[in-house]
Amino acid sequence: MKTSSTSRRQVLSRSAALIGAASTGLLVSEQAQAQTGKLRVGLMLPYTGTFAQLGVAIENGFRLAINEQGGKLGGREIEFFKVDDESEPSKGIENANKLVQRDKVDVIVGTVHSGVQMGIHKVARDSGVLSLIPNAGVHAATRAQCAPNVFRTSFSNSQPTRALGAAMMAKGHKKAVWITWKYAAGDEAFEGFKESYTAAGGTIVKELGLPFPNVEFQALLTEIAALKPDAVACFFAGGGAAKFMKDYAAAGLQGKIPLYGSGFLTEGVLDAAGPAANGVMTTLHYSDSLETPRNKEFRLNYAKTFKLQPDVYAVQGYDTGLLLIQGMNAVKGDVTKKVELYKAMESATINSPRGKWTMSKAHNPVQDIYLRVVENKENKVLGVAAKALADSGAGCKIS
Ligand code: PHB
């Protein structure tokens, strides 16, 4: 009895050891397989709602960059996983976890809305998954809550408006009203505007706001008409931006009180806004009319591929692809080589349609900001409003 129970124990422990060895072996080969099989790319973008078009433009640009270089990343084929984030912050964490936990993506590309971004950001910081931000400018992501695995290819919310104040004062507009959607993107855009406008000697006579994505502008436009400022400055984007410009014109303010904004106001919406957009002046890190071979080639390829004109969102998606290509080439597709991967992305120079740009220490683009005006359904460049502008990266401690 004793003997048999001993031998049974021995058999059991031997088989446990065998199972252990087998499963370890499996893990090693699975891991090797994981670095040579398809790279799992998660796209978390708005495909419905006021920012739907922005999400599509980002995805198009991202795919174009990768397809131009053979359709692979670091030698690996790609499998895409998509989630519509609806620009709904309350679902941000849950949606990001669908990609990270369920789909086991190697990289998450997203998103547009700053509030939703904070959901992705939490999941990226907790899981360590590589996170590429193709639009949302929320300061925390590249300031106090910056992270080694998070890179932004777009802008920080205050970057475009940091170049706006001086441009408005140069036109002699000494008193301005600010109007925006009240959430991180609008509030942080205001930070840049306030700093640049007051530093140039301007006075902000009133700050107006409404909740995102509300487009009932009438009462606020009536208030602007009564205040009679020299100019109005704003942050709006997507479908809401088109409606704002149309309502501004319909209220009789176009041509009477000049309208300025961060350039998102006039991106991707010039057909929808029609003549209401004429003369609107903005500052942004891109302009359709940049007369560079790089921009012309990009615009042509994008238009041919998608039968659409590209905008800043398409450029940001494209640059996200360019950044990922550089990173993945450096590690030959092995995303487990994090140190080399991040180093390659940190030191990258992106040869973008917007002009060449580099990464700041906090992982946000250092880039030129252009002054533009809408003419004949085009964002025409008037000049560089701020050269190689960097976000402060305040509070960021990477490495
Ligand atoms: C944002 O929420 O960060 C945001 C959204 C749309 C833009 C720019 C910023 O065009």
- Are 292 and 148 contained in the same domain? yes
Neighbours of 374 (CB within 10 A): 24
> Cβ neighbours of residue 213 under 8 Å, at least 6 residues apart?
49, 50, 87, 181, 239, 240
Contact status, residue 396 vs residue 146, Cβ threshold 8 Å: yes
Testing ligand 1's pocket by substitution, the residue of 51, 112, 116, 159 carrying the most ligand atoms inside 8 A of its CB is 112
Q: In this structure, are 260 and 308 located in the same domain?
A: no
Q: Which atom of ligand 1 is least distant from the CA of 267?
A: 10
Q: How far is the CA of 136 from the centre of ligand 1 (A)?
A: 5
10 Å Cβ neighbour count for 78? 17
Could you tell me if 244 and 309 lie in one domain?
Answer: no
Exposed, middle or buried, 32 (CB in 10 Å: 0-12/13-18/19+)? exposed
Residues 102 and 38 placed together within one structural domain of the fold: yes
Domain identity same for 124 and 54: yes
> Among 45, 114, 269, which residue has the most ligand 1 atoms within 8 Å of its CB, making it the best to mutate?
114
Contact call for residues 205 and 175 (beta carbons, < 8 A): yes
Question: And the tokens for 45?
Answer: 């973008």
Atom number of ligand 1 nearest to Cα 188:
3
Question: How many A from CA of 155 to the centre of ligand 1?
Answer: 9
Question: Mutate which of 54, 88, 113, 282 to test ligand 1's pocket (most atoms within 8 Å of Cβ)?
Answer: 113
The answer to whether position 383 is within a domain reads: no
Measure 361 CA to ligand 1 centroid, in angstroms: 22
In a domain, 305, yes or no: yes
What's the 342 CA to ligand 1 centre distance in angstroms?
25
Q: What is the DSSP secondary-structure string of 315-381?
A: HHHHHHHHHHHHHHHHTTT-TT-HHHHHHHHHT-EEEETTEEEEE-TTS-EEEEEEEEEEETTEEEE
Half-sphere exposure of 32 (CA within 13 A, CB side): 5
177 and 280 inside one domain = yes
Q: Classify residue 11: in a domain, yes or no.
A: no
Q: Which of 255, 284, 313 is the last residue of a domain?
A: 284
Cα angle at 386 between 208 and 377, to 5 degrees? 65
Residues 190, 151 within the same domain: no
Separation of 29 CA from ligand 1 center, angstroms? 42
| pLDDT for 4 | 40
Residue nearest to atom 9 of ligand 1 (CA): 136
Q: Is the peptide bond before 111 cis (omega within 30 degrees of 0)?
A: yes
Shared domain for 63 and 90, answered yes or no, is yes
- Domain presence at residue 225: yes
**Residue 56 has which token pair?**
């599509």
Count of alpha carbons within 13 Å of 237, Cβ hemisphere only?
28
Per-residue pLDDT of the chain (399 residues; tens, 9 = 90+): 333 443 444 434 434 433 433 444 445 555 555 677 999 999 999 999 999 999 999 999 999 999 999 999 999 999 999 999 999 999 999 999 999 999 999 999 999 999 999 999 999 999 999 999 999 999 999 999 999 999 999 999 999 999 999 999 999 999 999 999 999 999 999 999 999 999 999 999 999 999 999 999 999 999 999 999 999 999 999 999 999 999 999 999 999 999 999 999 999 999 999 999 999 999 999 999 999 999 999 999 999 999 999 999 999 999 999 999 999 999 999 999 999 999 999 999 999 999 999 999 999 999 999 999 999 999 999 999 999 999 999 999 986
Give distance in angstroms: CA of 329 to centre of ligand 1.
30
The answer to whether residues 151 and 291 belong to one domain is: yes
Residues 36 and 132 in one domain: yes
Of 258, 284, 310, the one marking the end of a domain is 284
Residue 43 counted as domain residue: yes
Q: Helix (H, G, I), strand (E, B), or coil: what is residue 310?
A: coil
Burial class (CB in 10 A: 0-12, 13-18, 19+), 349: exposed
137 shares its domain with 77: yes
Q: Positive or negative, the Cα torsion across 175, 179, 183, 185?
A: negative
Instruction: Tell me if 49 is assigned to some domain.
Output: yes
In ligand 1, the atom with minimum distance to the C-alpha of 112 is 5
397 Cα to the center of ligand 1, angstroms = 25
Structural domain boundaries enclosing 266: 159-284
How close is the Cα of 264 to the center of ligand 1, in Å?
8
- Phi/psi-derived region of residue 63, left when phi > 0, alpha when psi is between -120 and 50, beta in every other case: alpha
373 within 8 A of 288, measured Cβ to Cβ: no
Q: What is the CATH number of the domain that holds 223?
A: 3.40.50.2300
Matching residue, tokens 């030698």:
75
Domain boundary (284, 303, 320) is at 284
- Answer whether residue 79 is part of any domain: yes
Say how many Å lie between the CA of residue 169 and the centre of ligand 1.
25
Q: How far is the CA of 127 from the centre of ligand 1 (A)?
A: 25
Please give the structure tokens belonging to residue 279: 């003369």
Q: How far apart are CA 109 and CA 117, in angstroms?
A: 10
Q: Note whether 168 and 197 are within 8 A (CB).
A: yes
Cis amide leading into 134 (omega within 30): no
Are 192 and 300 in the same domain? no
**Candidate from 58, 193, 264 with most ligand 1 atoms within 8 A of CB, to mutate:** 264
The answer to whether residue 394 is domain-embedded is no
User: Residue 116 CA: which ligand 1 atom is closest?
Assistant: 2
- Indicate the number of domains in the chain: 2
Contact present, 50 and 85 (Cβ < 8 Å)? no
Minimal-distance CA residue to ligand 1 atom 7: 237
The ligand 1 site (C-beta within 6 Å) comprises 112-114, 135-138, 157, 185, 237, 264
